[in-house]
Amino acid sequence: MKVKVPLRDHNMKMKICPKCNTYTMEDICSVCKVPTVNPHPPKFSPEDKYGKYRRIIKKESGVL
Ligand SMILES: [Zn+2]
């Protein structure tokens, strides 16, 4: 039986371990035993929001 999995659907199932940054399809990282997260959260608008935070962080860390 052939199962056709669209690439987009496959990507949506991919998660990443926040600890070791390893991509997995499991809900729990088999190495760290921590819950994996979606690397592309649909509820956030991408680049722009992170770029804004990155700029703030960069400004804050400028004193170091
Ligand atoms: Zn891990």
All domains of the chain in start order, with CATH = 7-63 (2.20.28)
The helices-and-strands tally (H runs, E runs) of the chain is: 2, 2
What's the 36 CA to ligand 1 centre distance in angstroms? 8
Going from the Cα of 23 to the center of ligand 1, the distance in angstroms, rounded, reads: 9
CA of 34 to the centre of ligand 1 (A): 7
Model confidence pLDDT, tens digit, residues 7-57: 665 555 789 999 999 999 899 999 999 999 988 756 555 566 666 767 777
54: burial class by Cβ within 10 Å (0-12, 13-18, 19+)? exposed
The alpha carbon of 25 and the centre of ligand 1 are apart by a number of angstroms equal to 12
Report the pLDDT value the prediction gives residue 55, as an integer from 0 to 100: 74
pLDDT at 14: 86
pLDDT value of residue 34: 96
Q: What local confidence, expressed as pLDDT, does residue 7 receive?
A: 60
Task: Measure the CA angle with vertex 9, ends 41 and 2; round to 5°.
Answer: 160
